[in-house]
Structure 1
Amino acid sequence: MLLIYGAGCFAADGDKLFAQCAACHGSKGEGNATFNAPAIAGQDTTYLERQLRNFRNRRRGIDKSDVPGAQMQAAATATLANDAAIAKVASYVASLPKTITAVAAPGNLHNGNNLYQGKCGACHGGAAEGNPALNAPRLAGLDAPYIKRQFAHFRDGVRGTDPQDTPGRQMAMMAKTLPSDRDLDDIIAFIHRQGRPK
């Protein structure tokens, strides 16, 4: 469909579907930490589609400890009837201007850069911009609590356990290699500097 009709058609219809998402994710997809809703604006279309299908198909958001994920799983099931609806809303969200983290997290930037480049950069890009070819989402622009929560979910088996979620399983393996929470704080501090005015 995208090849025949172009992404613009999907984005035009997607704005109507996205209206139901804006209550949590913000009218511009900027996210809302109060609702545990991440910034999604400008994220890669394929990644967005995969996560929405994961929620709708109960590959994500079903662990009893993942309350925000369960809420998203219910919302995706209730509002996105099929893959065409998912494609439309994902195309629209991907067309929104990318977010920049409002307040940068504190941390040791030198350590964060070294750890990020050694453990994360090969997949997520040297500046946390994401890499669609490797199914790795953009991390720049995500708030610290969301990154920490998702990292813990991957590490603790809450996310990335479904056999059909190959990228999630890869991330779950990587999450077990980070030595400490302080190192994660330093990595987040580095991520938060990306995309910001110098």
Structure 2
Amino acid sequence: MKKIIFSLFLAIGSISAAQALEGDAAAGKTKAATCAACHGATGISAIPNYPNLAGQNSAYIIKQLTDFKAGTRSDPLMSPMAANLSEQDMADVAAYFSGIPRSGEVVAATGDAPAGAAPVAGNVEIVASTPASAIYKGDVSAGKTKAATCAACHGADGNSLVPMYPSLAGQSANYIAKQLHDFKSGDRNDPVMAGMVAALSEEDMHDLAAFFAVQAPKAGTGEGSDLGKKLYFSGDAAKGITACIACHGVNGKGMQQAGFPAIAGQSKDYLKKQLATFRDGSRANDNNGIMRNIAIKLSDADIEEVTQYMSSLK
């Protein structure tokens, strides 16, 4: 009887401790940017396979995230997404989604552009950064002038002619600005880019991002791969590899509101290098370690096939 009572006290104590951890909805909104690809920016999923989270009970969301992280609930997509979340992260994300009406209708803050808004002359759409809360806004004309030093590697219009360097044309402005910021801070390491960004101001980064974001990207020229296509669309449940389509989209265009980059039009050489650096941890500026958790499970053969397919995307 004493053992039973003691066990009950422990259980009650655990519940109380869990309840004591309050979530910050504002912080959760920022952290939830990576959830938008599947669950929608306002918690209403556009994909039938994924649940709506808007208005869901916060305790339930926390429990599911905890179970995904612990492995007591298994899912090849959610497991890597939850792997690096702390208890506070889970509480914050849960607070954000639980506070959204079940309709998903959220009044936009003054100055925010509607999702999917097209760039206008001289500017790009105003979007929330990931994971920061800053607003990126750049001047295309100023960016064109500043981008002259980028042309040797990335092409005058952002379409690189050198396979080892990425094409920037059509990439989302917030993603480009984040990479520039990460190169300058050292969160992303590259000896060439470190020197290039050293003197850039925040305004410079936004202007460059704006310029490249509105350029027309060229179609991929890769040969394609049936095995790579299967891995891209379905992942590999046996290895716990998440399908690439979840974040990068059917046509590799990415999901800019969630901070997931476009990979269509990139060379196989560049894509292979990025997956290899995520796998060995030498690149670690991915949100919540999403790419590292996936890449570490990829074999050399997997990387060869999936990059062959991705480089063929139009």
TM-score, reference length from structure 1: 0.81
The alpha-carbon deviation at position 157 of structure 1 amounts to: 0.9
Query: Equivalent residues in 2 for 1:149-168 (5 A)?
Result: 149-160=273-284, 165-167=285-287
Q: Could you tell me which runs of 5 or more consecutive residues in structure 1 were left unpaired when the two chains were aligned.
A: 62-68
Aligned partners of 1:45 and 1:90 also within 8 Å? yes
Q: Percent identity?
A: 31
Aligned partners of 1:123 and 1:131 also within 8 Å? yes
1:174 counterpart = 2:282: no
**1:112 match:** 228
**1:70 match:** 191
The alpha-carbon deviation at position 187 of structure 1 amounts to: 1.2
Deviation string 1:31-67 (CA, Å, 9 cap, x unpaired) is 1326x32111110111001000000111111xxxxxx
Distance 1:23 1:168 in 2: 33
- 3-state SS of paired residue (2:213): helix
**1:16 match:** 145
Query: Equivalent residues in 2 for 1:1-198 (5 A)?
Result: 8-9=122-123, 10-33=139-162, 36-61=164-189, 69-78=190-199, 80=200, 82-101=201-220, 103-105=221-223, 109-117=225-233, 118=235, 119-160=243-284, 165-167=285-287, 169-178=289-298, 180-195=299-314
Q: What letter corresponds to residue 151 of structure 1 in structure 2?
A: L
Deviation string 1:104-154 (CA, Å, 9 cap, x unpaired) is 14x6x3221110112211011122111113321111111111111111110
Distance 1:166 1:85 in 2: 23
Aligned partners of 1:48 and 1:90 also within 8 Å? yes
The alpha-carbon deviation at position 7 of structure 1 amounts to: 6.5
Distance 1:168 1:93 in 2: 26
The alpha-carbon deviation at position 25 of structure 1 amounts to: 1.1
Aligned-CA RMSD value: 2.1
Distance 1:25 1:194 in 2: 19
Distance 1:3 1:88 in 2: 18
Q: What letter corresponds to residue 89 of structure 1 in structure 2?
A: L
Aligned partners of 2:286 and 2:292 also within 8 Å? no
Aligned partners of 1:31 and 1:39 also within 8 Å? yes
Higher relative contact order (CA 8 A, sep 6+): 1
Distance 1:76 1:170 in 2: 25
Aligned partners of 1:33 and 1:146 also within 8 Å? no
Distance 2:165 2:304 in 1: 20
Q: What letter corresponds to residue 171 of structure 1 in structure 2?
A: M
Q: What letter corresponds to residue 182 of structure 2 in structure 1?
A: N
Aligned partners of 1:53 and 1:86 also within 8 Å? yes
Distance 2:228 2:162 in 1: 22
Distance 1:26 1:86 in 2: 17
Name the one with the larger helix percent: 1
TM-score, reference length from structure 2: 0.52
Distance 1:17 1:3 in 2: 26
Distance 2:288 2:162 in 1: 22
Describe the shift of the 1:133–1:71 C-alpha distance in structure 2 as closer, same or farther (beyond 3 A): same
Distance 2:174 2:277 in 1: 21
Q: Aligned pair count?
A: 175
Q: What letter corresponds to residue 181 of structure 1 in structure 2?
A: D
